């Protein structure tokens, strides 16, 4: 459940960085997930499709990199 909340934040954050959300599609989101941030990558991946449905990120793939530390960070995204 908390992964769903974080996925909603992720989608909001990503869409806010688009120049034109009506035309652009996000194809990939590159995330850094801290080893001790309390978030399970598989759970993020599971929650993402529902959270992203109907948004420009609907078809985006999550590229998750595990890193040391407690942060959970959207590094960059790929947009077409």
> What is the C-alpha to C-alpha distance for residues 9 and 75, in angstroms, rounded to an integer?
14
User: Does residue 79 belong to the site contacting other proteins (CB under 8 A)?
Assistant: yes
Q: Which of 35, 40, 41 minimizes the C-alpha distance to 68?
A: 35
Of other proteins, Zn ion, none, which one sits near residue 10, judging by CB under 5 to 8 A according to partner kind? other proteins
CA–CA dist 71, 50 (Å, integer): 23
Told to check if 55 binds other proteins by CB under 8 A, we report no
Encoded one letter per residue, x for contact with other proteins by CB under 8 A and - for no contact, window 56-75 reads: ---xxx-x------xxxxxx
Task: Tell me: does residue 53 bind other proteins (CB under 8 A).
Answer: no
Q: Where are the alpha helices (DSSP H) in 1-80?
A: 2-16, 41-52
Q: Does 6 bind other proteins (CB under 8 A)?
A: yes
């Amino acid at each position: 459940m908390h992964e769903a909340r974080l996925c909603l934040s992720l989608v909001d954050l990503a869409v806010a960085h688009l120049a034109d959300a009506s035309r652009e599609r996000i194809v990939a989101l590159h995330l850094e997930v801290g080893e001790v941030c309390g978030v399970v990558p598989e759970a993020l991946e599971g929650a993402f499709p529902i959270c992203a449905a109907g948004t420009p990120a609907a078809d985006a793939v999550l590229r998750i990199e595990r890193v040391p530390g407690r942060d959970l960070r959207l590094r960059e995204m790929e947009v077409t």
